[in-house]
Structure 1
């Protein structure tokens, strides 16, 4: 079965979606589109084994508790705990795991602009569940949270500086590096779009990361971590090189 990668923005504009088919010894990008609606994402989910969403799937539990306590005017903080208290509000358990594993600090879903995409993601997850999909924010179902920058780091590729006005690394060059690292990946007619759009490129990386999760080549929450991961979300950080994605033959 194919995997789906979604680089989710706050609105349809700048949202990209890639479908990758896995064949013996190779993978083929079958579809790659920009400006994607929620309905189109839900529809595409009907035809894939795993969907990688590049967006936080939930908020830190202490942050949710803060909002509830603030509503009732019952917020208290012990003396000397201010900095640690704020950190627990800003970062999820999975964010801290990624930081420890890669030294990359994910954007805070409660204190950064990524929250706008997360608002949309919450609705999208509800739509996917209503359509009959197994939505487990810990990654045990059809949907899994991915983080392209961390995946690129794990795969030995440039993971910073290829987005925005101050680009230090052209994502076209990064795509060339991806070709060299994964010659089995066939972009076909979509190579030009990947070179022009870092949103499109990230959606392909999300689909590759979804494959890692689907075949057990990504970090999973431990038994102790799983209850929190199912609420806050869990980033499926790849555990090995890109070649691991095609070690298993598919018919």
Structure 2
């Protein structure tokens, strides 16, 4: 099995892609590319058995309805215009589910800068649909699954905070050290160095590992009451089993 992880930013300069090959109870990082353009991402996902994308795959349904209504001047709002009402516009069903499970709160795709990568992601999914000849499912049931590396690391009992940005190389090194200790079956090869230099590369590898968990059914799925929203908003797959389960 080949899994791909994509740490998606609005531009290629902060985007990384990782390829992880799985066989005989082991895994190896086949390649990691930092500064990944659209063509590379689409082709990588098209060749993967499962791809984990660290970016929202959709917007909150209520936000989409709100903006559509506002466009034609027909917005209906509850009395008081309180914070809870705005939260319903800002957060997806999956964002609330991740927060309930892990205590982490994903960035709001409708009210934060993560919207810029999400716009790029929407275009990439469209190109991927043309490339593969079929619509890309956003709920994780198809080739692509949405992931959240910090949540994956936390669920696996690994360091998950403070490793972002160039100046946090020491903390990032501890994440890589913890990952290699917890997963001795994972061979980084020559690509360990780039993961220590770049948090984008590290997250791409974690995204590829999470894609494996999703492919094996070892990650969260929408409950019946969440399934309809997951189809349009996207669904973040959070690992439900420890790392040693991934090689099979």
TM-score interval w.r.t. the shorter chain? over 0.9
Please list, as runs of the form range in 1=range in 2, the aligned pairs for 1:212-227 lying within 5 A after superposition: 212-227=213-228
1:153 aligns to what?
A: 154
Residue 76 of structure 1: how far off its partner (Å): 2.7
Please list, as runs of the form range in 1=range in 2, the aligned pairs for 1:46-195 lying within 5 A after superposition: 46-132=46-132, 133=134, 135-164=136-165, 167=168, 170-195=171-196
Unaligned ranges ≥5, structure 1: none
- Change in 2 beyond 3 A, CA 1:4/1:165: closer
Following the alignment from structure 1 to structure 2, what is the Cα–Cα distance between the partners of residues 82 and 138? 30
Residue 158 of structure 1: how far off its partner (Å): 1.3
Unaligned ranges ≥5, structure 2: none
Residue 65 of structure 1: how far off its partner (Å): 0.7
Residue 47 of structure 1: how far off its partner (Å): 2.2
Pairwise CA RMSD: 1.4
Larger mean Cα displacement after TM superposition, 116-125 or 126-135: 126-135
Residue 166 of structure 1: how far off its partner (Å): 7.2
Kindly tell me the number of residue pairs found equivalent between the two proteins: 247
Residue 79 of structure 1: how far off its partner (Å): 1.6
1:211 aligns to what?
A: 212
The answer to whether the 8 A contact 1:134-1:143 is kept is no
SS in structure 2 at match of 1:3: strand
Following the alignment from structure 2 to structure 1, what is the Cα–Cα distance between the partners of residues 221 and 95? 13
